[in-house]
Structure 1
Amino acid sequence: MTTARDIMTPGVECAAAQESIVEAAVKLTELGVGSLPICGSDNRLKGVITDRDIVVKVLGAGKDPAATTAGELAQGEAVTIGADDDVDEVFATMKSHQVRRLPVIDGHTLVGMVSLADVARSLPSPQVGDLLEALSSG
């Protein structure tokens, strides 16, 4: 059985909830990624911030990116996957929640991220097509 732990990218960096959007954007740029988990001072996952969130919810909404924090963009509980969950569960979770990236947790500890590309490499081609279609139609 292939698990989320098998296909994830380990060693994920977080944007601290109290960091400004400017700091989060710099981190995204330096790491060459499109999203970062948002972690609170208790080291628990608070949400995920994407480059699109920054453009739409901050810049497009006329907010000051230096005065807005990453934590302000954390909406409710983040959609996650357990490290030992089967890749079929990863697929189903991405599809049902219409997300392209999932934080991977082991207990309450963030241990990695699974992206659409990670899932695509591990699933048979028909399932990948189903996932791409589901995410594109949402």
Structure 2
Amino acid sequence: MTAGQLEQGKPITVDASADAGRVLEAMEEHKIRRLPVIDNHRLVGMTSEADLARHLPEDQVGHFVEVICAAP
């Protein structure tokens, strides 16, 4: 099986110029823990839950974890 066979729908990404609020919003909305970062239609990085934990205030990280871990 290939990665292409596993994909489902359009990938969720964030632009490299997006602020932390937009990153949190996208990750919470789609309940994802990693978010590809795109610049000029090229993958330039990956933002993860651990990145948020290192760079954001504790209350924002706590809310994010609650949203992501909440039962569907």
With normalisation by structure 1, the TM-score equals 0.50
Q: 2-side partners of 1:104 and 1:93: how far apart?
A: 12
* Superposed counterparts of 1:1-80, under 5 Å: 68-80=1-13
Q: Does 2:16 correspond to 1:83?
A: yes
Q: Across the two proteins, how many residue pairs are aligned to each other? A: 71
Q: Which structure's relative contact order is higher, taking Cα pairs within 8 Å and 6+ residues apart?
A: 1
Secondary structure at 1:99 match in 2:
coil
Deviation at 1:107, TM superposition (A): 2.0
The residue that corresponds to 2:34 in the other structure is 101
Say which one has the larger Rg. 1
Moved segments of 4+, more than 4 Å: none
The residue that corresponds to 1:113 in the other structure is 46
The residue that corresponds to 2:60 in the other structure is 127
Sequence identity, in percent? 49
Higher share of residues assigned helix: 2
Any unmatched runs of 5+ in structure 2?
A: none
With normalisation by structure 2, the TM-score equals 0.93
Q: 2-side partners of 1:136 and 1:70: how far apart?
A: 25
Q: Please report the RMSD computed on the Cα atoms of aligned residues, expressed in angstroms.
A: 0.8
Q: 2-side partners of 1:84 and 1:105: how far apart?
A: 9
